[in-house]
Structure 1
Amino acid sequence: MQTIRYAVDAQGIADITFDEPGSPVNTMCLAWQDDLCDLLDRLTQDLPSIRGIVLQSAKASFFAGADLKALLRGSEADAPRLFAEIQRMKKQFRRLETLGKPVVACLNGAALGGGWEVALAAHHRIAVDDERIAFGLPEVTLGLIPGASGITKMTRLLGLTAAQPFVLEGRTFGPREAQSLGLVHELVGDASQLRAHALAWIDSHPTAVQPWDDKAWKMPGGTAAQPKVASALAVAPAMLRKTTRGLYPAPEAAMAVMAEGSLVDFDTALRIESRYLAQVASGATARSMIQAFFFDLNAVKSGRSRPRDVPRSRPLKVGVLGAGMMGAGIAWANASRGIATVLKDVSLDKAEAGKAHAARLAAARVAKGRMSDAEAAALLGRIVPTAHDADLQGCDLVVEAVFENRALKAQVTAAAEPFLGAAGGFATGVFASNTSTLPISGLARASARPEKFIGIHFFSPVDRMKLVEIIRGERTDDETVARAFDYVLAIGKLPIVVGDARGFFTSRVFGRFVTEGASMLAEGIPAPVIENAALSAGMPVGPLAVLDETSLGLSVQVLEQARADFAAEGRTHCATAGERLIEIMVKEHRRSGRAAGGGFYDYPADGRKTLWPDLKRLFERSDVAWDLAELKDRLLWRQAVETARCLHEGVLRSVHEANIGSIFGIGFPGWTGGALQFIYGMGVERFALRAAELASTHGEGFAMDESLLDTLRRHQPRV
């Protein structure tokens, strides 16, 4: 066997060690599936001399799960083959757990997805008591469902209701929670103790059966046939559809497996599970989500875009200029990861107000049990509010988070830079601008060291948003990019590195989304229809609601700055219909967004927000025909086309950063796998054909020339 080591000692203990060659983890690759069949044949042959079986791993983790690359290469036509492979694997699991011999899984590390299903094939599970270890079935986060008996067994072990968070949401859990749930039976201090405890259990349990093979066993809470459970399940699909909007097949399939499987015998339930998995795993949504949420996400986290020749480091002290919501959020992000932070504003009162925002965030976490009082106090102790630039002395990094005004940013840059210096983390200090739209190369002109000047664009609210966009200016050097990258990872965020241009990547594409929505309103399409089209397509919020949250006034400021910059270059900036409508909302109707009291929506103090009634009178036209599918396409295609242009122009340097940036920064629908995966999943030619149709009706924003298509073909990921 290539991936499994097998030996039976003199005491009759069969040691089975998973050890996939050339891989840091064990996976359910085809070689392992073949080896599993051979293993069960050998176990069956040696059964008379075996007292017990121990499952263990030669890797740092126990088992990682399915071979995802193989799934990426598949198509809908592969469903029958997948079903057969899944059933073949399950047959071996059933053989193992019905041999009549006690089987113990020694969980030295993580067991996720298929790895947890391997562990569930054992009668007894022993784990190392380490909070860093994760167990569970996170398949739905990749557009898949557990299919190697995971749904069937978790439902039978926990019950239909209790199993739902772990199956439908993919929630993982640590060793102690696993023990409290009865999913892990023993905990040990370290991996060296696992085998001894396994042998002791085998000695005291010469025979063992799984709970579902015990004739006296009953499912906790009852099956879907029982009235109480049935009444709850009657509304569950509708509640789930409210969350998925019908765009994510996996959770709905998983729920069906749970309910249907509870009504039949164990082996029939396994076949039901296999059928649903084969259908989901062979679908386009699963392939797109695997690409984005596994391969692309890991590419970002592993630092594929980080300059390689620069040693890794971590800042010891960071300065933040501006204690508004953004600056206060950045200070919180630093302090929550153990980084000393100087929070500066024009007055101590304003700086203290910024720290108070961090205090409110800490208090909320203490109230929810996610942080202790001592941890909160230590976190807040790392934030030092000040009104003096001199207190920035010795900061490795300074991040300015002041208003989007070029002159103001130049002023604070010149004032703060003299105090940057080495504090053991960086060889030299780095100055970063948190601008969302202003080109970094232009802002760097105010710096005495433009090679150490960089853009670090956080998203609001900082405490919840994972993405951070790192913008490299014309003169920014590799060391500065690497230091910024390391800093973003150090505070637990996802960094993508992009080129310098107006709006960079995320703000530029986000702008196309919201202005396309505003353009629809300018055409006379009803505002509720526009908002619902975005939600139906999978966007988290409608374009008009997003404009309100980010401020229509800010959008007008950006438009005016663009006009001024174009004029300075001897050009004229031509506003789109959507941009002009936003300008009308602000300048003629004094509707600047939520923070200003109202924009496209009204925000009553004692109720939920509602669309501003005057939108119907001012903009809606009864003679305008609209089609929901067309509106959804416009919103998605407009963003995807602009993302492709960013790749073509060099603003984006990789497909994985485009996909992760669009999902985590803009809210591009996860079911697509990201803005470029949306194109690749459909096929470049098919996407371009639809883009041409939209361009002919809705303008050049959808146009794609042959050179752009060539860029897309050249960058298409190869599996």
Structure 2
Amino acid sequence: MITYSRDDDGIVTLTLDDPGQSANTMNATYVAAMSAAVDRLHAERDTVTGVIVTSAKKTFFAGGDLPSMARATPEDAPALFKLLSTIKGDFRRLETYGRPVVAAINGAALGGGLEVALACHHRIALDTPGTRLGFPEVTLGLLPGAGGVTRTVRMLGLAPALTTWLLTGRRYRPADALAHGLVDALASTPAEMLTQAREWILANPDAAQPWDREGYRIPGGLPAAQLPAYPATLRKQLKGASLPAPEKILATAVEGAQVDFETAQVIETRHLITLLTGRIAKNMIGALFFDMRAVNGGLARPAVEVPPATRVAVLGAGMMGAGIAQACAKAGLPVVVKDVTPELAARAAGPGITTTADVADLAGCDVVIEAVFEDPALKRDVFAEVLPVVAPDALLASNTSTLPITGLAEGVSRPGDFIGMHFFSPVGKMPLLEIVVGARTSDAAVARAFDLGRRIGKTPIVVNDGRGFFTSRVIGTFIDEAIGMLAEGVPAPSIEHAALQAGYPTGPLALADEVSLTLVQRIRRQFEAASDSYERLPSHELVDAMVDKHDRPGRSSGRGFYAYGEEKRTGLWDGLVSLATPEGRSVPLADLRDRFLFAEALDAQRCLAEGVLRTAEDGNIGSILGIGYPAWTGGVLRFADQHDDFRGRAAELAARYGDRFAPV
């Protein structure tokens, strides 16, 4: 696991190289090897002038051993405390060794990997495109517990450590990590990095950590007057949601800053163990590590060999079309964007992108992605125009968010090559791609769409056809529930606050404005037209009144559930009160929160039962990445599975608020 070599200058290089994994992690193999390496360093101290810690992998160190973390129970707390104390003890023996220690960071150093580097006196990062440094633990419901909080606070000061590194989960490029204080130097090649490391060791024989030098004070001191404001600031950042990981990170940082280093380490360990043995961290690790790995690894991809995409045609140069074109071009694919006029097509211009109004320019494209207005006739027309020109076996994809793929495929001569590729807006930021399989879509088309999605950096879930598919259907349930609450007489601020406190990234009424109430209305009317048994709800009446009577179609028009000024929300519209049921009713905040969470979870269970969802993993990842289901739940289906009494609570909600909450 760790190769130990000493050169003629007495510099020892510890090379991390786990023989059983493609990346180094803080597993049992590492722990034993690091203890042995530090033991040997101390035994041979008189012959050592310095130490370089580096890696033989493509990355430096991937972080903690998440599979073992996910199994931790409260009964494991004593063993976890002992394990963490061993890891921290070895780091402490390394940084107090009395010889300069340099981290030569030859690739990504995330979480535990960055903690390895922080236990060194000097950090040199290889400045390559793939190198990232950061503490993603907060995004998994954890905290950096191998000294990460303690050292970062002592290195940078309380506020910079929290706001830049610990609470954000951000992964920084080497230059940004240098600017933000956790990296000391950059190198352009591995050889240069090791040369810099040796030179620094020889120039700094008395190196020590700042906190081990006499007279050390935390940068900026302890802002005693500001300490009471930290919890309030965090609460504001979390929009009222109660999430244990950021709260524990704040507590660890503030408590640890007021005691000596060793005591701070113990505080950090105890807070991490509380998170490790809790439910929320298991939910988040389950979704954002295990489910994500399964989905990106091709869990739902048919096992067929298909050729890679070579040239992409995008039909429509609006916001979605331009975003799709840019994502493909960024991945190195030649892209041709067609619209009805050269001027409209030019909206999508960019590096690697050709824009045109001439269908002949699409000759040879082996992927077609249509991103025009949500109108079935228009979509069929644009495909009919390009089919004679593009490659005879081109993948034919529609970026529809709701229209059934099977119906759209009836307008093309090759329905086996026709598929849905539902991108999310803005395409450049949203990581999810929902691949929708029609009744006649071939396995080869699914595999080609999946491979293209991975190539352009998306996480592709694969779902079967159905109106609204998975994501649009389930997020529609969320918006419907909110508007239904409004129709019941629940105050609009309570609706928005309940969703935020449940952990949703935005309130459902604000989201409805962003989507546009006109689109919500049009999709619902399409549903009504397609079904003889579609139930009309009070929320539908309210949307119709907002659009048709009050001319408040949403944010794009500056008028919706919210009022807008200078393109910003200025507050909820005063007229909402007049749209509610006059008598109204008081609904407990806990019921409001659960109505959102349960409405989506129950609909997701129906999607799985009906075969719209192919796998639970796709449902969990799709709900978190695509429609903002709270990450602390571990995803929409995991929320139901891990709830103490999901069916009982659902039955309780059904008795109070309607049969839509009846357990599946």
Q: Match for 1:58 among 49, 56, 59? A: 56
The alignment status of 1:577 with 2:546, answered yes or no, reads no
Structure-2 change in CA distance of 1:463 and 1:6 (3 Å): closer
Tell me the residue number matched to 2:661. Answer: 702
Structure-2 change in CA distance of 1:402 and 1:130 (3 Å): closer
Alpha-carbon distance in structure 2 between the residues aligned to 1:463 and 1:58 = 33
Alpha-carbon distance in structure 1 between the residues aligned to 2:369 and 2:279 = 41
The alignment status of 1:308 with 2:267, answered yes or no, reads no
The alignment status of 1:436 with 2:401, answered yes or no, reads yes
Question: What letter matches 1:172 in structure 2?
Answer: R
- Give 3-state SS (helix, strand or coil) of 1:35's partner: helix
Question: What letter matches 2:561 in structure 1?
Answer: F
The alignment status of 1:405 with 2:375, answered yes or no, reads yes
Structure-2 change in CA distance of 1:136 and 1:586 (3 Å): closer
Tell me the residue number matched to 2:426. Answer: 461
Q: Cα offset for 1:535? A: 1.6
CA contact (8 A) 1:470 1:484 kept: yes
CA contact (8 A) 1:526 1:620 kept: no
> After alignment, is 517-526 or 637-646 more displaced?
517-526
Structure-2 change in CA distance of 1:260 and 1:412 (3 Å): same
Q: Match for 1:271 among 245, 259, 266? A: 266
Q: Cα offset for 1:243? A: 1.6
Tell me the residue number matched to 1:389. Answer: 359
Tell me the residue number matched to 1:174. Answer: 173
Tell me the residue number matched to 1:75. Answer: 73
- Give 3-state SS (helix, strand or coil) of 2:54's partner: strand
> After alignment, is 178-187 or 633-642 more displaced?
178-187
- Give 3-state SS (helix, strand or coil) of 2:263's partner: helix
Alpha-carbon distance in structure 1 between the residues aligned to 2:452 and 2:499 = 34
Alpha-carbon distance in structure 2 between the residues aligned to 1:513 and 1:582 = 14
* Cα-to-partner distance string for 1:199-253 (whole Å, 9 max, x where unaligned): 444444444322211114332222x1xxxx3344442321211122243222222
Alpha-carbon distance in structure 2 between the residues aligned to 1:290 and 1:62 = 22
Question: What letter matches 1:208 in structure 2?
Answer: A
Q: How does 1:97-496 map to 2 (within 5 A)?
A: 97-164=95-162, 165-181=164-180, 183-222=182-221, 224=222, 229-244=223-238, 245-311=240-306, 313-320=308-315, 322-352=316-346, 355=347, 358=348, 379=351, 382-386=353-357, 388-421=358-391, 428-496=393-461
The alignment status of 1:47 with 2:49, answered yes or no, reads no
Structure-2 change in CA distance of 1:312 and 1:106 (3 Å): farther
Q: Match for 1:500 among 465, 470, 476? A: 465
Q: Cα offset for 1:452? A: 0.8
Q: Percent identity?
A: 48
Alpha-carbon distance in structure 2 between the residues aligned to 1:13 and 1:506 = 56
Question: What letter matches 1:576 in structure 2?
Answer: L
Question: What letter matches 2:217 in structure 1?
Answer: K
Structure-2 change in CA distance of 1:457 and 1:301 (3 Å): same
Structure-2 change in CA distance of 1:189 and 1:623 (3 Å): closer
Question: What letter matches 1:25 in structure 2?
Answer: A
Structure-2 change in CA distance of 1:562 and 1:32 (3 Å): same
CA contact (8 A) 1:312 1:486 kept: no
CA contact (8 A) 1:15 1:53 kept: yes
Q: How does 1:600-639 map to 2 (within 5 A)?
A: 600-604=561-565, 608-639=569-600
Q: Cα offset for 1:613? A: 2.4
Tell me the residue number matched to 1:674. Answer: 635
Q: Cα offset for 1:597? A: 4.8
The alignment status of 1:524 with 2:492, answered yes or no, reads no
Q: Cα offset for 1:120? A: 1.7
Alpha-carbon distance in structure 2 between the residues aligned to 1:90 and 1:28 = 12
Structure-2 change in CA distance of 1:310 and 1:693 (3 Å): same
Q: Cα offset for 1:471? A: 0.4
Q: Cα offset for 1:169? A: 1.0
Alpha-carbon distance in structure 2 between the residues aligned to 1:324 and 1:197 = 49
CA contact (8 A) 1:602 1:611 kept: yes
Alpha-carbon distance in structure 1 between the residues aligned to 2:554 and 2:199 = 67
- Give 3-state SS (helix, strand or coil) of 2:528's partner: helix
Query: Where in structure 1 are there 5+ consecutive unaligned residues?
Result: 360-377, 423-427, 706-719
Alpha-carbon distance in structure 2 between the residues aligned to 1:253 and 1:186 = 31
CA contact (8 A) 1:420 1:430 kept: no
Q: Cα offset for 1:560? A: 2.3
Alpha-carbon distance in structure 2 between the residues aligned to 1:560 and 1:232 = 54
Alpha-carbon distance in structure 1 between the residues aligned to 2:647 and 2:160 = 46
Alpha-carbon distance in structure 2 between the residues aligned to 1:200 and 1:458 = 50
Q: Cα offset for 1:437? A: 1.2
CA contact (8 A) 1:133 1:175 kept: yes
- Give 3-state SS (helix, strand or coil) of 2:51's partner: strand
Q: Cα offset for 1:604? A: 4.2
> After alignment, is 513-522 or 461-470 more displaced?
461-470
Q: CA RMSD in A?
A: 2.6
Structure-2 change in CA distance of 1:159 and 1:351 (3 Å): same
Q: Cα offset for 1:584? A: 3.9
CA contact (8 A) 1:103 1:123 kept: yes
Alpha-carbon distance in structure 2 between the residues aligned to 1:306 and 1:623 = 49
Structure-2 change in CA distance of 1:275 and 1:563 (3 Å): same
Alpha-carbon distance in structure 2 between the residues aligned to 1:186 and 1:574 = 64
Q: Cα offset for 1:538? A: 1.4
CA contact (8 A) 2:114 2:135 kept: yes
Structure-2 change in CA distance of 1:601 and 1:106 (3 Å): closer
- Give 3-state SS (helix, strand or coil) of 1:418's partner: coil
CA contact (8 A) 1:80 1:278 kept: no
- Give 3-state SS (helix, strand or coil) of 2:421's partner: strand
Q: Match for 2:35 among 27, 34, 37? A: 37
Alpha-carbon distance in structure 1 between the residues aligned to 2:568 and 2:371 = 32
Question: What letter matches 2:324 in structure 1?
Answer: I
Structure-2 change in CA distance of 1:385 and 1:679 (3 Å): same
> After alignment, is 322-331 or 478-487 more displaced?
322-331
Query: Where in structure 2 are there 5+ consecutive unaligned residues?
Result: none
Alpha-carbon distance in structure 1 between the residues aligned to 2:88 and 2:307 = 44
Q: Cα offset for 1:505? A: 0.3
CA contact (8 A) 2:311 2:364 kept: no
Q: Cα offset for 1:159? A: 2.0
> After alignment, is 262-271 or 198-207 more displaced?
198-207
Q: Match for 1:562 among 501, 506, 527? A: 527
Q: Match for 1:84 among 78, 82, 93? A: 82
- Give 3-state SS (helix, strand or coil) of 1:470's partner: strand
* Cα-to-partner distance string for 1:13-55 (whole Å, 9 max, x where unaligned): 4443322221111111123223333333333333344343332
Tell me the residue number matched to 1:367. Answer: none
Structure-2 change in CA distance of 1:593 and 1:4 (3 Å): same
* Cα-to-partner distance string for 1:168-222 (whole Å, 9 max, x where unaligned): 2123333334445554444444324554544444444444322211114332222
- Give 3-state SS (helix, strand or coil) of 1:419's partner: coil
Tell me the residue number matched to 1:716. Answer: none
Alpha-carbon distance in structure 2 between the residues aligned to 1:653 and 1:302 = 15
Q: Cα offset for 1:156? A: 1.6
Question: What letter matches 1:443 in structure 2?
Answer: L
Alpha-carbon distance in structure 1 between the residues aligned to 2:200 and 2:473 = 61
- Give 3-state SS (helix, strand or coil) of 1:104's partner: strand
CA contact (8 A) 1:75 1:284 kept: no
Alpha-carbon distance in structure 2 between the residues aligned to 1:127 and 1:324 = 40
Q: Match for 1:551 among 516, 524, 541? A: 516
Tell me the residue number matched to 1:714. Answer: none
Q: Cα offset for 1:540? A: 2.0
* Cα-to-partner distance string for 1:490-512 (whole Å, 9 max, x where unaligned): 33332211111111000110111
Alpha-carbon distance in structure 2 between the residues aligned to 1:211 and 1:597 = 54
Question: What letter matches 2:33 in structure 1?
Answer: D
